[in-house]
């Protein structure tokens, strides 16, 4: 376990260093010394120069909430992906396996089309995401029985995802090409540009506590599920109850992330695999490592998106460009294990 602890400590240290560097990145230039002075004035009540007052607003109103939200979304998506991969015993599983992202995108498209506020868009996206999972669970309950229940759940998720993607396409077809369509398209690409500032960070923190804490508390049982349902039941694990808890927590994390920031793909699929290479398959270490690694990866990508062009590049584009080739490489490297 010494190696695993070193990995966790290294990830936490890298995350803190990257977060501090992230405070200096943006159209409003701030040096590390200026950031230290502004933070010190906030903590200890010192005098601020006029330039420091402006820097204080940028730092605490814009950058710090965004950085915290970025880290938490990366952690939430990675935790959700790792939990679903353990539950379904399938390395190809992503947080959208039950249709959350597709449904949330459809909900946001409807809200944007009818002109709701940002809060209304977030709420509609979250409700549609939860609705999709409830629909998948209902179909699995009606159709699936016994050992085939998980397979029916996955297939139902594919069908529901396709249905909501078609609904999203319909909303884009009906949208005004000069006004609503660009807004819907940009939201679906995934970005932290309009994520709600401090409000979004507080919401995501609450969701991360509600959804992430049970997953961390039950992570050892994900190891037990790897032996099969009969073996897990023989060891005293209520498999059906555990499955529902994992699905509920992972769905909450994914739906909240998508409703605040749009669809950001590949993070929840790739990061658990990368962390497995560093820590091994033990979920007692893998799950917290995936959360730290996901937060770090998302923060690095967001920094790149903010710095690469004068405006801002959608995060979802960059994660897909990085994630798809990386997954192909990992698939080729570990094809025997996954076959």
Mean of all residue pLDDT scores within the chain: 86
Q: Which two tokens stand for residue 107?
A: 């909900």
Nearest to 112 by CA among 191, 169, 180, 189: 180
Q: Which pLDDT does position 339 carry in this prediction?
A: 46
Which residue blocks in the chain are alpha helix, DSSP H?
Answer: 2-22, 32-44, 50-57, 64-88, 100-113, 118-143, 149-174, 180-189, 197-217, 219-225, 229-234, 239-261, 267-279, 283-307, 315-333, 335-338
Backbone angles phi, psi at 191, to 5 degrees: -160, 155
pLDDT for 109-144, tens place per residue? 999 999 888 889 989 999 999 999 999 988 888 886
**What DSSP string runs through 173-188?**
HHS-TTTHHHHHHHHH
pLDDT for residue 335 is more than 70? no
CATH number belonging to domain 2-338:
1.10.3470.10
Average pLDDT over residues 258-272: 90
Q: Which pLDDT does position 336 carry in this prediction?
A: 54
Integer Cα distance of 216 and 148 in angstroms: 27
Integer Cα distance of 46 and 54 in angstroms: 15
Integer Cα distance of 64 and 68 in angstroms: 6
Q: What angle do CA 193, 20, 94 make, to 5 degrees?
A: 55
Q: Which pLDDT does position 50 carry in this prediction?
A: 58
Average pLDDT over residues 237-250: 88
Its sign, for the CA torsion 117, 118, 123, 126, is positive
pTM of the model: 0.91
pLDDT for residue 249 is more than 90? yes
Q: Where are the domains of the chain?
A: 2-338
Integer Cα distance of 312 and 325 in angstroms: 23
């Amino acid at each position: 376990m010494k190696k695993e602890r070193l990995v966790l400590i290294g990830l936490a240290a890298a995350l803190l260093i990257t977060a501090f560097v992230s405070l200096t990145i943006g159209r409003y230039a701030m040096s590390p010394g200026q950031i230290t002075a502004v933070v010190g004035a906030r903590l200890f009540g010192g005098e601020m120069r006029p330039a420091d007052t402006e820097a204080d607003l940028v730092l605490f109103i814009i950058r710090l909430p965004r950085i915290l939200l970025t880290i938490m979304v990366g952690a939430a998506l990675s935790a959700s992906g790792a939990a679903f991969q353990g539950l379904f015993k399938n390395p190809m599983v992503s947080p959208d396996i039950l249709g959350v992202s597709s449904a949330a995108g459809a909900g946001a498209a409807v809200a944007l089309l009818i002109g709701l506020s940002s809060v209304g868009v977030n709420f509609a996206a979250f409700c549609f995401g939860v609705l999709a999972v409830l629909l998948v669970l209902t179909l699995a309950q009606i159709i699936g029985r016994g050992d085939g229940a998980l397979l029916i759940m996955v297939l139902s998720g594919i069908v529901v995802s396709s249905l909501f993607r078609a609904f999203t396409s319909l909303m884009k077809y009906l949208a005004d090409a000069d006004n609503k369509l660009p807004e819907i398209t940009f939201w679906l690409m995934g970005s932290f540009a309009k994520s709600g500032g401090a409000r979004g960070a507080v919401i995501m923190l609450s969701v991360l506590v509600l959804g992430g804490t049970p997953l961390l508390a039950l992570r050892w049982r994900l190891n037990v599920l790897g032996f099969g349902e009969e073996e897990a039941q023989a060891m005293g694990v209520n498999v059906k109850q555990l499955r529902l808890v994992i699905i509920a927590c992972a769905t909450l994390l994914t739906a909240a992330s998508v409703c605040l920031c749009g669809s950001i793909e590949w993070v929840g699929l790739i990061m658990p695999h990368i962390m497995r290479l560093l820590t091994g398959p033990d979920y007692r270490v893998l799950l917290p490592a995936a959360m730290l690694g996901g937060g770090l990866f998302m923060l690095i990508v967001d920094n790149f998106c903010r710095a690469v062009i004068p405006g801002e590049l959608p995060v979802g584009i960059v994660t897909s460009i990085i994630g798809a080739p990386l997954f192909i490489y990992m698939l080729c490297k570990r094809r025997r294990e996954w076959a």
